[in-house]
Amino acid sequence: MASQDTERNEIERLDREYTLGTWTRQRDFDPTEIVDTEGPRIVTADGDSILDFSSQYVCTSLGYDADRIADAVDEQIREVPYVNPGWSTEPRARLSEKLAEITPGSLKKTFYSTSGTEANEVAMKMARAYTGKHKILSRYRSYHGATAASLSASGDPRRVAQGPEIQPEVPGMVKGPDPYAYGSSLDPEQSLEYIDEMLELEGDTVAGVLVEPLVGSNGVLTPPDDYLPRLQEIAHDHGALLICDEVMTGFGRTGEWFASGLYDAEPDIITMAKGLTGSYQPLAATTVSEEIAEHFEDNLLNQGHTFAGHPVACAAGAAAIETYEEEGLLENAREMGAYLKSELESLAERHPSVGERRGIGLHQGLELTRSEEKRVPFEERSDKVSGRTTVLDEVGAHALDNDVYFYTSVNTIVVTPPLTITEDDVDEAVAALDEALEISDAAME
Ligand code: PLP
């Protein structure tokens, strides 16, 4: 049994006393201490070993046993732990070369930062500088990060319409519809036509169209195969760049290095983080096409971070990519993804509260519905103010009681295990989910 309702130990008490929790009313911040990890599992101070089918916000794609990364970090920290970004180090140069190799199309040069949020800020800034235009078109069901511009580009229903620290948004952000056939009155084709029309009506002012190729925390929205190449064409017809936020979908999660590669699109800019180092180190990247890189040969790239291209983080990134390659993890994501998909499909058949299964590879999700005839969410989000929990949260909590952890978000159980999982892991997770979904079945209208 996972230790959600046990007494706080000393570390949890200290943490609670002196650390501010993220995205939460502090009264509700009540973290459980993790003292160890093994394979795809995290171990609590009470000794519960929890199978992690979230990869911790889709970060730990390599699980917890990637010794090659630990060794590379250890070596780099002893040799050159830090120099400012004006100097050259081997890990940064080698990682940049490798990213040029594995990213689709003519993507070539990389700018480094430390979070997905910053990678998107940088992408938007570069698009503006390159095109000489200022607006960014993104979509409603999206999350691009937590600072001013990245958050303003996000349409995430959990984040918008909050307090004065968030509203008003930074100017120049426009939002279009999503390719969301299940829960929207527009089908994906109509949503593309809508975006085309929007770009026309905005005039020649849009620098970039920023999208998650396969939407993550806003419900694992999977577009039709031709959606992304067509979006690219529409953006280019209007003189806007296609920026793909692959912070969640990058590094093999869909069975390809990048989801844009899966769809045969060639974005002008890709942003990445999380899987880049398997989150053994905080590192993010914004990789741009040769043409955009060329623009900055003679024009100022007006951006920088003290920790840009941090040598230890880049050493972790280079070792992570070697690990994906040498352990055949993209292949495993395809194989285990196919197995997971078929198991989730049978859950969807058995449980009336599962409205739809979506996803590709090891980026899967189950959207819940409270009525079989109508596609209606239970509740879109937990009410952090009253402390009321939603049916979705209860389903997640029940699975956790059986020692399997899922990330639940926007009416969806997000199923994103590490790329290292086996069939036995899938069976264990699906059995826990099978039991937990009885809660949502029972709560239906
Ligand atoms: N973009 C996407 C698609 C994400 O899922 C996230 C975080 O979950 C971000 C950007 C922001 O990344 P970070 O939390 O590292 O700033």
How far apart are the CA of 78 and the centre of ligand 1, in A? Answer: 30
Domains of the chain in start order, with CATH, are: 32-64+328-443 (3.90.1150.10), 67-327 (3.40.640.10)
Atom of ligand 1 nearest to the CA of 116: 12
Atom of ligand 1 nearest to the CA of 284: 15
186 contacts: CB under 8 Å, gap ≥ 6? 177, 180, 194
Q: Tell whether ligand 1 has an atom less than 6 A from the beta carbon of residue 116.
A: yes
pLDDT in tens, 316-350: 999 999 999 999 999 999 999 999 999 999 999 99
Atom of ligand 1 nearest to the CA of 118: 16
CB 243 within 8 A of CB 124: yes
Q: Tell whether ligand 1 has an atom less than 6 A from the beta carbon of residue 247.
A: yes
**Average pLDDT of the chain to the nearest whole number:** 94
Q: Tell whether ligand 1 has an atom less than 6 A from the beta carbon of residue 145.
A: yes
pLDDT in tens, 244-262: 999 999 999 999 999 999 9
C-alpha 247/C-alpha 429 separation (Å) is: 24
Whether pLDDT at 30 is above 60? yes
C-alpha 46/C-alpha 9 separation (Å) is: 9
Q: Tell whether ligand 1 has an atom less than 6 A from the beta carbon of residue 285.
A: no
CB 267 within 8 A of CB 260: yes
Whether pLDDT at 117 is above 90? yes
Q: Tell whether ligand 1 has an atom less than 6 A from the beta carbon of residue 246.
A: no
Predicted confidence at residue 387, as pLDDT, reads 61
How far apart are the CA of 330 and the centre of ligand 1, in A? Answer: 21
Output the residue whose Cα is nearest ligand 1's atom 14: 116
Predicted TM-score (pTM) of this structure: 0.96
How far apart are the CA of 41 and the centre of ligand 1, in A? Answer: 22
Sheet with strand 354-360: strands edge to edge: 354-360, 363-368, 412-415, 407-409
Output the residue whose Cα is nearest ligand 1's atom 5: 248
Predicted confidence at residue 291, as pLDDT, reads 98
How far apart are the CA of 338 and the centre of ligand 1, in A? Answer: 26
pLDDT in tens, 367-392: 999 998 888 888 756 665 566 678 99
For 7-42, give one letter per residue: b (16+ CB within 10 A) or e: ebbeebeebeeeeeeeeeeeeeeeebbeeebeebbb
Q: Tell whether ligand 1 has an atom less than 6 A from the beta carbon of residue 211.
A: no
pLDDT in tens, 259-293: 999 999 999 999 999 999 999 999 999 999 999 99
Atom of ligand 1 nearest to the CA of 212: 3
Output the residue whose Cα is nearest ligand 1's atom 13: 116
155 against 137, higher pLDDT: 137
Tell me whether strands 206-211 and 241-245 are parallel, antiparallel or unpaired. Answer: parallel
Peptide bond into 168 cis (omega under 30): yes
Predicted confidence at residue 28, as pLDDT, reads 87
